[in-house]
Structure 1
Amino acid sequence: MTRDTMLALRLHGRQDIRLDTVPIPDCLSDQVRVRVAYCGICGSDIHECQAGPILAPQPQETNPHSGAKLPVILGHEISGTVVEVGADVEGIRIGQKVVVNPLLADPQIQAAACTSCLRGRFNTCKRATYYGINAPGGGFSGEISVNAANIVPVPDNVSLRAAALAEPLAVACHMIERSGFAAGDNILILGAGPIGLGLLILLRSKGAKKILISEVSDLRIDQAKRLGADIVINPVQESQVSDPVLRAVHELTDEGVDIAFDASGLQATLDTAIASVRPGGTIFNVAIHEKPLSLNLNALSLQEKHLTGGICYLRKDFEEVLSLQSSGRLPAEEMITSVVPLSNIIEGGFQELIVNKTKHVKMLIQPDI
């Protein structure tokens, strides 16, 4: 590498990721260039590698909204330091600690606002793209140039290591708001991966009464206990009971939990979530499903249960989780189980997570110095 180039992990096609030497990106007049400190590996990165391109551009095609085409740099859970500010940008300074909101909606691409954007629901924009997935630039690199509106300042007392969790925590924060949660609610979370544990610590900070977690990984069970879950159940180890999660729910509550968050995306977890919720309660889907699931609508209608879901986040979700981290009310850094150098991301990152997923919660990638 030279002073004008950097190492970057790029998706070239299905099951084809490579560490390439690429030019350091230019910083346009409305952009900010960020030196990446950390970037988390998300499940969607693994899916794009193994089964994609899914959201990433298809071979020989260009994304019509972002202009991105294969190969694309992956990585969207980004924290770093500003190293260059475009001529038209105000309010951002060189040396500032920041995270990147990866979402590009109509306002960022100067398009006429769609119905979602007119309503402030930029996360459901019909032209939405994301840095590190299907827009130019990603966090598995040394530097990234992004639209200034996608920069979120990090409080002085929050480390860049902890700030790298802002993106998955913003997902969890958005889901909680969408679910109708109120302080004093009883909660079931199915799955204690990064989003499930993010839900746990955020719900605890927001005043949940009792939180039950269902998880099969020993490491994640231990994490859930340390992070404040009232009851943690391994449904596989307790399989002699017809449904150990349901039994625990009904031992703890009169008629069921107020909200069940399904962060696993399996038929079994959806069925358990529906059965665990009280009449009038909410089943909230957090997971992205690889295949369609079956649904007994009578189980919802006859007890007026609500089934809904959400996607991603808004800027305010990033600001809220960073504020909570700054206040000391969000022990998010405990979710980090390993940090891997960018030069080892293929074997020590992607391949390790594919083979040993349950031995990790959140893995961060750090560019080589």
Structure 2
Amino acid sequence: MPASTRDSQPRVKALRFYDRGDLRLEEVEALPCGSDDVRLQIKYCGICGTDVTEYTNGPIFPPSKGHKNALTGVSLPVVMGHEFAGTITEVGSSVTELTTGQRVAVNPACDHRHYASEHCDPCRNGHYNICDATATYGLSAPGGGFSQEIVVKAINCFVLPENVDLKSAALVEPLAVAHHCIKLADFKAGQTALICGAGPIGLAILLILRVLGASKVIVTEVLETRMSQARKFGADCVLSPLQSSDIDTSDEKSTLDAIRDFTQGGVDVAFDATGLQSTLDLAIAASKPRGTIFNVAIHKKPLSLNLNLLAIKEKRLLAGICYLAEDFEAVIQMMADGSLQADAMITSIVPLSDIIEGGFEQLIHNRDAHVKILIRPD
């Protein structure tokens, strides 16, 4: 419940984004719990690359200064954090499927189901992740995970089985991104895969591919610490264009040649989790005829694409964003049955009081040492 009171108004500690380079840990008024809401005591919240980008280059997803999100009413400053899990402390009057004391992971995405407005075509067809008016808790909807508590819609909550702890649950959101992309790529057990980039999402894809029965997974990465993490997470082969790797690349053998040799001609699915011209080119070239190239990254600038490279071998180029409820449910089930062991992604747990220096600044100046930093608001 709220940490303190001032003028009889409940208040909680939270990290708010004011502008580029301006994060402030301060007390804010606790949000009211509506009839279809639940109040959560937040236990853990992960710092996403999106959060860091907002800090260094934003506002991008939050409203610009002097403006409001037309549907959520949110304006700067916003409470940040969208990878969170916690315990229910209050339920709204019309909520029947949840009770106080339950532990939940949260889908932070909002869509037309959350607003008193007409549904867009994607929402009418169940594609809530590409809603025309999407918003996100921690960026453009009220409240965020870098706080002692939050109020969210009941439909955003997923009850955790007893054997899934709240630390693991804070990883469900990025793992749901990975699961959604793998599903859209139509990946099948026994197939081979390439992952370009061993950042948090690339490693999440690797973990889930292992659960889903990939026969061979190759990871390309240039940073030695991330190469080591990819090996630890189960990659069959880790390659760097800049140094010697798991496959002999002597005699001027290229990374592409090494991938083709290792897979006898190319991979079934190539995931680009980096968003560089060089990794897109590699993903296209390394996929087998009639293979799939799947873009996971959000690009900082447009890239060049020679469609002939797709057409002449009937390759497919696909892309995806975020997740659906079924992705959260699938990831939680994998954690519950023990097939998905994701805690190795957690490289640091930092108290909310140290979130700026111990969290954001670490990911800016010591990024290579981390996969996922969790914030503990206790």
Please, what TM-score do these two structures have when normalized by structure 2?
0.95
1:49 maps to 2:51: no
The alpha-carbon deviation at position 248 of structure 1 amounts to 2.1
Match of 1:298 in 2: 308
In structure 1, the partner of 2:42 is 36
Q: Which residue of 2 aligns with 1:111?
A: 117
- Which residue does the alignment assign to 2:22? 16
Taking the aligned partners of 2:145 and 2:356, their CA distance within structure 1 comes to 14
Tell me the distance in 1 between the aligned counterparts of 2:194 and 2:262. Answer: 11
2-structure distance, mates of 1:241, 1:6: 61
Does structure 2 conserve the Cα–Cα contact (< 8 Å) formed by 1:273 and 1:283? yes
Q: Deviations over 1:319-363 (max 9, x none)?
A: 100000000000111111101111111111111101111110011
Correspondence for 2:296: 286
**Which residue number in structure 1 is paired with residue 282 of structure 2?**
272
Offset, 1:255: 2.0
Aligned residue in 2 for 1:85: 91
Q: Output the CA distance in 2 between the equivalents of 1:343 and 1:241.
A: 53
Q: Are 1:98 and 1:151, in contact at CA under 8 Å, matched by a contact in 2?
A: yes
1:65-76 matches, within 5 Å, as 65-76=71-82
Does the alignment pair 1:346 with 2:356? yes
Aligned residue runs from structure 1 range 217-256, under 5 A: 217-238=223-244, 244-256=254-266
Query: Could you say if the C-alpha distance between residues 40 and 29 of structure 1 is closer, same or farther in structure 2, counting changes exceeding 3 Å?
Result: same
What is the RMSD of the two structures over their aligned residues, measured on CA atoms? Answer: 1.4
In the TM superposition, what are the counterparts of 1:302-341 in structure 2 within 5 Å?
Answer: 302-341=312-351
Secondary structure, aligned partner of 2:44? strand
Report how far residue 24 of structure 1 moved: 2.1
* Structure 1 segment 144-159 matched on structure 2, within 5 A: 144-159=150-165
Report the Cα distance in structure 1 between the residues aligned to 2:59 and 2:21, rounded to whole angstroms: 9
Structure 2 distance, partners of 1:215, 1:54, is 27
Structure 2: give runs of 5+ residues left out of the alignment. none
Unaligned residue ranges in structure 1 (runs of 5+): none
* Sequence identity percentage: 50
SS in 2 for 1:107: helix
Q: Distance in 2 between matches of 1:47 and 1:182?
A: 34
Please give the alpha-carbon distance, in whole angstroms, between the structure 2 residues aligned to 1:111 and 1:254.
53
The 1:6/1:205 distance shift into structure 2, 3 A limit, reads same
Aligned residues: 368
CA distance, structure 1, for counterparts of residue 258 and residue 304 of structure 2? 25
1:337 counterpart letter in structure 2? T
Q: Which residue of 1 aligns with 2:220?
A: 214
Distance in 1 (alpha carbons) for counterparts of 2:26 and 2:116:
31
| Alpha-carbon distance in 2 for matches of 1:22, 1:244 | 55
Post-superposition offset of 1:241: 7.1
Using structure 1 for the length normalisation, give the TM-score.
0.97
Supply the distance in 2 between the matched residues of 1:339 and 1:220 (Cα, whole angstroms): 19
